[in-house]
Each structure stands twice: as C-alpha cells, then as structure tokens.
Amino acid sequence: MEHTVHVPLGDRAYDVTIGPGLLGDAGARIAPMIKRKRVAVLTDENVAALHLETLRAGLARAGIEMTALALPAGEATKSWPHFSRAVEWLLDQKVERNDVVVALGGGVIGDLAGFAASVLRRGVRFVQIPTSLLAQVDSSVGGKTGINAPQGKNLIGAFHQPSLVLADTEVLGTLTTRDFLAGYGEVVKYGLLGDAVFFDWLEANGPKLSAGDMATRIEAVARSVQMKADIVARDETEQGDRALLNLGHTFCHALEAATHYSDRLLHGEGVAIGCALAFELSSRLGLCSQEDPSRVRAHLKDMGMKCDLSDIPGELPDAETLLDLMGQDKKVLDGQLRFILARGIGQAFVTADVPKDVVLSVLTDALS
C-alpha cells in the first residue's frame, strides 16, 4: 500500500513515504540517518495528545530515545517568541550538528521546526512527520520553512529541505471533517494547476476519499506529492514554475487578511475559493471556457466545501478593499501583482498581465 516519492535535489534529495502506520515504524526509517540514537521532536499540544506516544513507541522499537516539546496549537505559534523558545529548547537538549530534529504536526509546526533546524548550529537535518492533509500534500514537502511577522505571513524564513518525510495516512482519520476538507483544497489545486486527468480522478473518487477509503487517500496524497516534487525539482527557490503552486493563493491571502486569519476561513478553504475565483477570472479574460469555473465550483460543492464568498461567515469588505489586500500579497514583484491563471483545467500559468477592472468585476459579482 505504501508509496515513495523521491524529491531529486542533488545533495539535498530525499524521499517522501506515504502510507498507513508510519508513526509506529518511524524508528526503523530514521535509524539509518543517525549515529546517536536520540531525536528531539517539536510538536503541538493537540497533536501530542493524539500521536506523540505512538511516535515514542515507534522510535523505541528501533532503540531511539525521544525528547519532545509541545507548543500551543494554532497559527499564533509561528512567531518569534515560540520560535526562540523552540531553538533554545533544542540547544538545551544538546542537539548536535549530526542529530536530527523531528517535526510532528501540521503546517505551523513543520514550518517552525524546519526554520529552527535551518538556523540551529548553522543547520541540522530534520524529518517532517506531517499530521494534517494540508501538510502531507503541501507544506511538508519542498523546504519552505519560516514564521510570520507582524507585517505579514511567512515573511521570515529559509529554504531548508527535510531529509525525510513520513506521511502517515492513518493519522488523517483523527482530523475533523472541516480540517480534512480544507487540506483537500490543496489536493484539488494540483489537479487544477497541472493535471486534468487527476482532476477527473478526484471528481470520481473525492467522496470515497473523504469517507476514509485508505487506498484512495494514499493515491491522492502520493499524486499530489509527486506533482509538488516535480515542480520543486525544476524550481526549488521559486524563480519561475514553483509559483504555479500558488494557484488560488492571491485571492486566498486577501480573504485571509479580510477575515483576520481567524477561524472564519481556514487556509485550505481560502485556497479552494481562490481557485474558483482564479478560474472565473481566467474565463472572463477569454483564457478558458465558461464551463471550467462551473466545473471547479461543482466539484467543491459536491465535496461539501466552501466555494463562494457567501460561504464565509460574517461580513466581507467591498471589492476595492479586497483588491488592495491582494496588492499586499508577497507575490507582488516590482509593484505588479502576479496571478496564476489557467487556459483550462490542468493548464495554469503565471502572468502579471491582468487588467485591474476585470479582477474588480469578478470580486464585485462574487460579493453580490
């Protein structure tokens, strides 16, 4: 049942292993990487309660001792105070240059632990053990690490590739439906950006996947990770193609800012709505057929996901304000907003050539 995707990055190459029961087998997988049979684990309090003991037992089976720090769950943890606490804790644990730090958790922990590993003693290796669907298909792979600044999300960080990723698909069973579906927003994104056949497959298999079918879950994670690995191998530091992974994100970041990064909108929900809006914009610009945005929205609806602005609870600001918030996106280059648009399902591309009035009309209609 298990799949391995190789991320071919020369001396920074690594494997992403996807399948059930990997937490319990983590020791055997990590043992070949270390001389000292000891690892330091960064996690959050929620994940620790659910999975830390399984990991401890899995490591102990290979004679590896574990020491762990559980930080508070939530986006606020991706900040200097928690980051410095994590780095100082790792130093207190006497983590050395040849040791390995383990990130057990979702995107917040993966990003923070990866960044901590990148600066600790000028860089130590780390293993990602992602526990959310979003982290398994996106944030644990590709080496983007960091924390948020008061000025914006992910503005402080480093590219630091993990040495191994263990995506245990069994842990997905402990996610709430809402969190699972938010992660699914990123899965849909892969089909929409580069693989129409995968999108067809998701239309057919999405409901089974959401109901918990393990083989379908593994296949969806593996296909997503393979796409990400291919893109990262072509463009590790986002000079070009890697920006395609931001399909839906320009709209999403404006919506997240407008809802103050609160529980009103999870990141993956914003990505799904953002993808629907990116296809609507592409269709209005005559780039793709009118059926494409309808098909995107229909699939999101079938999955019980948010797909319209009206699905976000509470008031949203007007279209002009949302457009301003899009202008603060970090993908702005030389003052120009870059969009990921599509010539059809599976055919995304990056462009700065988007008339503002068309974006404004898409937002105005979406708000009405």
- Parallel, antiparallel or unpaired: strands 14-19 and 3-7: antiparallel
Where on the phi/psi map is residue 81: left (φ > 0), alpha (ψ -120 to 50), or beta? alpha
Where on the phi/psi map is residue 318: left (φ > 0), alpha (ψ -120 to 50), or beta? beta
Question: Known catalytic residues?
Answer: 122, 144, 186, 228, 238, 242, 246, 249, 253, 267
Task: Write out the two tokens for 322.
Answer: 């949302």
| Number of residues binding to ligand GLY, judged by CB under 6 A | 5
Stretch that binds ligand GLY, among 30-38, 137-145, 297-305, 323-331 (CB under 6 A): 137-145
- Smallest distance from ligand GLY to CB 57, Å: 32
- Smallest distance from ligand GLY to CB 186, Å: 8
- Parallel, antiparallel or unpaired: strands 125-130 and 14-19: unpaired
Q: Please tell me whether residue 331 binds ligand GLY under the rule CB under 6 A.
A: no
Task: Write out the two tokens for 209.
Answer: 């996947």
First to last CA, the chain: 47
The CA-atom distances, in angstroms, between 14 and each of 4, 21, 116, 321, 361 are: 10, 20, 19, 42, 44
- DSSP state at residue 135: I
- Smallest distance from ligand GLY to CB 138, Å: 5
Tell which one of 25, 111, 138, 179 touches ligand GLY (CB under 6 A).
138
Q: Which is nearer to ligand GLY, 90 or 227 (CB)?
A: 227
Stretch that binds ligand GLY, among 15-23, 43-51, 138-146, 343-351 (CB under 6 A): 138-146
Residues 190-249 that bind ligand GLY (CB under 6 A): 242, 245
Give bridge partners of residue 39 from the DSSP assignment: 66
- Smallest distance from ligand GLY to CB 333, Å: 15
Q: Please tell me whether residue 112 binds ligand GLY under the rule CB under 6 A.
A: no
Q: Which is nearer to ligand GLY, 220 or 366 (CB)?
A: 220
Distance of alpha carbon 20 from alpha carbon 171, whole angstroms: 8
Total length of the chain = 368
- Given a contact cutoff of 8 angstroms between Cβ atoms, the answer to whether 262 and 236 are in contact is no
Q: Please tell me whether residue 142 binds ligand GLY under the rule CB under 6 A.
A: yes
Q: Give the closest residue to 138 by CA, choosing from 173, 111, 156, 171.
A: 111
Q: Which is nearer to ligand GLY, 117 or 245 (CB)?
A: 245
- Smallest distance from ligand GLY to CB 16, Å: 13
Q: Which is nearer to ligand GLY, 25 or 138 (CB)?
A: 138
Q: Which is nearer to ligand GLY, 142 or 162 (CB)?
A: 142
Q: Which is nearer to ligand GLY, 127 or 316 (CB)?
A: 127
- Given a contact cutoff of 8 angstroms between Cβ atoms, the answer to whether 170 and 21 are in contact is yes
- Smallest distance from ligand GLY to CB 130, Å: 13
Tell which one of 144, 189, 253, 338 touches ligand GLY (CB under 6 A).
144
Distance of alpha carbon 203 from alpha carbon 180, whole angstroms: 17
In the complex, the residues that contact ligand GLY under the rule CB under 6 A are: 138, 142, 144, 242, 245
